Structure formats: C-alpha cells, structure tokens
Chain A
C-alpha cells in the first residue's frame, strides 16, 4: 500500500499542509525541532488512531487551536481508501471512505505502518513490557481477532486482580467466582499466546535470514517465547488453555497473597538468541543493533504475508545511525517494494544508492517545500 496524499490541519506545529508523496522513498530533511518527527507521527496516528509518543490527544493538537484534522488517501492493489481522523481534546472520530466508524477496531488496519526510531533498540535492550507492547502493536495491526482478544483479556485481568485484592482483604470470599475468572482469563490468554507464537514464528523466519545476511553469515538469530508454560504445552490453543487453568489452580494462594495475577500473556516475554546466547544480556552493541534492524525489517515481510499488502515504513533518525553494511541491507529490504518516509538533518553519511531517486521535502518550522 502507498500513502498518496496527506492533509493536516492544526496537527502539532503544522497549520495547514497538503502534500503528495512518492511511492518510493520520501526524505524529510530539516534542522532540529522543525517538525520532521511530527510529520511521521501524523502518518502513524492516521494509521493506528494513536500516537507512539503520547497518550494525550491534546499534545497532538496545535497549541493555538481546539482540534485537529488529518486526511490521507491510501492506495492498495485494488482500490483507494480515504482515511480521516478528527481529534479534539476529549476524543477522536475516525472515518473510512467518509463513513464514520463506530469502533476503532474497524478503522485500524486500513493503513499499515512500521515505525523505526532509535528508541526501538529498547525492543532488544529494554524490559519485557517493551517487547509485549511491540507484539501487541504489530499483531494488533495484522489481526483484528488479536486486538479483540487482547482487549477482553485486559478487562478480565483487571476484574481478576481486583477480586484477588478483595479476597486478600477478606472483603470477598467466593473461591468459585475466582475459578470462573481464572477460566475466563485462561480462555482469552490461550488465544493470545497461541496467536503470538504463530505470528512470532513467521517473524522469526524472515528475521533469521536478514540477520544472517547482515552479519555476513556469522550469526544465527532465534526467538524464544518466554512463558510460564512448558514448550510441550504450547501445541494448541486448547492445550494452552488447560495448562493455564491448572497453573492458576496451583498458584491460587500465592496469587491471593500477592494480590495480583502472576502469570499469563501479560507477563510473557521474547528472548532474542544470537548464536545460542541471549542478545539482551550477552550481545555486543553491534549485535543488538543488527537484531533490532532484522526484527524491524522482518515485520515488513510478516505484514505483507498476513495482509497481502506491503506496509509503509517510517524511519525516524535511524539512517545516519546505521553503518554502510546495515544501510545496504535496509535498502535491499525496501527497494521498489516499500514506500518509505525517512527523516534526517543532512544527507551526508547516507549511502548514495539509498537516495538514488528520492522525493525530498524540506521542513522548516511547520512548513514543507519540495526540493
């Protein structure tokens, strides 16, 4: 898919812009604090109806105004789709082809994006919650079913944690109801774990090849889904369900004592293993960067195979951070396949090949000019 056109009104430091993009590589060049990341963020928000930088709508609306509008035309293999998002301080309204969508889940997924910024290194280096968020964001874009299971799981988890607290403080006493909540949580948890494992397997397949190539055939990348369940229990949703139930039963008193649900997909993690060692703890900076890049580039393949459309790639300040070899592999992954938006303060240090035929936009204080 391609983003053909973007219209913004009162988004961040933009007053009013209307830009047509190239299907290939779009370079956003400008000094610091001019609005480059803001523009990438706009594309991200248009796709996911939420920002990667803030949870607060207010931050997205230009300080001088009460609301913001964004419109984009997305072209896919068979048809064009018009997306529109109106933001005010309390909420958002989303339209697909000019029809308002009651549920955000029917809006998200129309435009698929992958964002790559220097902070993404924390997918490898950061805490497990970063990796869970990574899975939930990516898999939620790919699968409406995943998003549905996740929101139910989170709701039931909240109920169960509250009930554990009430049991602990003896404000509640009914163990049968705790069993019901455990069963319910196990049912949705099993769906999520099963989907994660399947989607991760697809992601791993591409990431392994990319990592192998970047490392000049020296490093083997593997993923391990880390969970309280044993490998042999992960074969089917039903099996996972039964094992989760058994674990909740076994840990019941411990959970009441700790007043919270101590196991389930909300506690799981991924380990990235390079040549048999966990790269988070044992990897060099370079290995960690290669892993991050491989995982990110593998996302392109995964989205393509799951949705039949290549996503849009947003690269925020990452290019100048990659050495020539890694830039070349990035190029290989996106060339002629993926519409790309990249920000940079200068073109020096970027492989000539990569910006062979780009459309260059100069960004200065919320204004865009075509170079």
Chain B
C-alpha cells in the first residue's frame, strides 16, 4: 500500500531537512497528522514567512525582516569596527555574548572552489564598498572558522583590505583548530575576541 498523497508529500518534505532520514520523516509526518489544526497552521505560516518576510540586509548581509537590519540602523553601535562572519547564525552567537558593540558583515560561506565558491560567490564586494564609503571604519575583525577554508578566506580578506590602511585582525585565540564558532561557548568567544591578532 502507498501513503496517501498528502502524507507522502509531507514525508518527502521532512526528508529534505538536514539530518532527517526516511524513518524519522515518517514519524514526524504521522505526528503532524495528530497535531491540532491551529498548531499546524502556525507551523506552516512560520515556514512560509521565512521566505516571504526575511531578506538579507543590503548593507551587512545579515538575515532581517527590515532592510537595513536592526544592527545597521542602531545609532548606538560602534561604527569603527566591522566583524566578518561566515553565516547569519554566527551573528546571533556573537550577539548573545553581549560584549561586542560594533557592526557585522556576513559572507554567506567561505572560499571553497570544490563547492564552487570563489570570491565572486561570497558577499565580499559589498564589504569593500562599505569600507570605501565609510571612513569611520578603522578595524575589520575576521571571525571565520579555523578550518583550512576559513583560514584561506581570512587571508584573502586581509590581503584585500590591508592596502587601504585599515587594521585587520583575526579571531584566533581560544577557538580550537577545526572548530566551528557555533559550538564555542560564550567564555571562549570572549577570550577569542580579546585576544584577536593583527593580520
């Protein structure tokens, strides 16, 4: 016997999520069938609005409902520093630390030819434009992960930015080699940001 079509489609959708295999997808699908209608509706709305309502900030590339994003609009942030991260979720991790008051720039990945990501595929051009337009920036802090690709990205950015006379530093201390920012705890990140090194 086949799954009724709506159920089959739901199973197929769940399977598109990372880390979810066939069995888990079936379990989730049957669970969804058993949920009350309002909850299901909220769930579906939440899914759709991630696409309808979220966009990338035209200045920093962070995910936002309004463009420019909250951080770029905030007059109280320190406009002399830009912290460069791989993903939007890294901005959230940094913000939860509540210690960094500067601005951000989200690259949307790291340089990796194997995955078809060269400099043109990352959000790098807009960073350079930002630096050209805003004389107030005097430090760019690079917080890509300590993987070979994260390191290559950091080196590339520093070669690009340094000739303009802007200080480039790298988050290095505390983060173990090969680790992801996502998994680092606040204390480690705090130490990392204090101990950043000039490139």
Q: Which residues of B contact A (CB under 8 A)?
A: 111-114, 118-120, 148-149, 151-152, 155-156, 159-160
Contact = CB atoms under 8 A, between A and B. Distances in A.
A184 B113 contact: no
A14 interface: no
Contacts of A152: 148
A172 B159 contact: no
Contact of B113 (A166, A173, A179): A166
Which residue among B111, B112, B148, B160 has the maximum number of chain A CB atoms within 10 Å of its CB?
B148
B151 A177 contact: no
Contacts of B118: 163, 166, 172, 174, 177
Interface stretch (A154-162, A267-275, A344-352): A154-162
B159 A176 contact: yes
A159 B120 contact: no
Contacts of A162: 113-114
Contact of A176 (B148, B151, B156): B156
Contacts of B149: 159
Contacts of A159: 112-114, 148-149, 152
A370 to B, nearest CB: 47
Contacts of A184: 148, 151-152, 155
Contact of B156 (A155, A158, A166, A177): A177
Interface centre among A160, A166, A172, A177 (most CB of B within 10 A): A177
A34 to B, nearest CB: 42
Contacts of A174: 118-120
Given A166-B118, A172-B118, 10 more contacts: A156-B148, A158-B114, A162-B113, A162-B114, A163-B113, A166-B113, A177-B156, A179-B159, A183-B155, A184-B148
Interface of A: 152, 155-156, 158-160, 162-163, 166, 172-174, 176-177, 179-181, 183-184
Nearest to B155: A180
A172 B113 CA distance: 9
**Chain A residues touching B, majority SS:** helix
Nearest to B159: A176
Nearest to A164: B113
B38 to A, nearest CB: 42
B113 A180 contact: no
**Most-contacted residue by chain B among A155, A166, A173, A180 (CB, 10 A):** A180
A162 B151 CA distance: 17
Contacts of A160: 113
Nearest to B151: A184
Contacts of B156: 176-177, 180
> Which of B120, B149, B156, B159 has most chain A Cβ within 10 Å?
B156
Contact of A155 (B111, B148, B160): B148
A169 to B, nearest CB: 12
A213 B111 CA distance: 54
A135 B119 CA distance: 36
Nearest to B153: A180
Contact of B152 (A158, A173, A181): A181
A174 B113 CA distance: 12
B114 A176 contact: no
A21 B114 CA distance: 48
A184 B153 CA distance: 11
B198 to A, nearest CB: 17
A357 to B, nearest CB: 49
Given A183-B155, A184-B152, A177 B119 contact: yes
A159 B159 CA distance: 19
B195 to A, nearest CB: 21
11 contacts: A156-B148, A163-B113, A173-B120, A174-B119, A176-B119, A176-B156, A177-B118, A177-B156, A179-B159, A180-B156, A180-B159
A164 to B, nearest CB: 9
A177 B155 CA distance: 9
A177 B152 CA distance: 8
Contacts of A181: 152
B152 A180 contact: yes
A163 B156 CA distance: 14
Nearest to B112: A159
A177 B151 CA distance: 12
> 7 closest A-B pairs (Cβ-Cβ)?
A162-B113, A163-B113, A180-B156, A180-B155, A172-B118, A174-B119, A155-B148
Contacts of B119: 174, 176-177
A124 B95 CA distance: 59
Contacts of B151: 184
Contacts of B160: 176
A212 to B, nearest CB: 43
A162 B119 CA distance: 14
B29 to A, nearest CB: 26
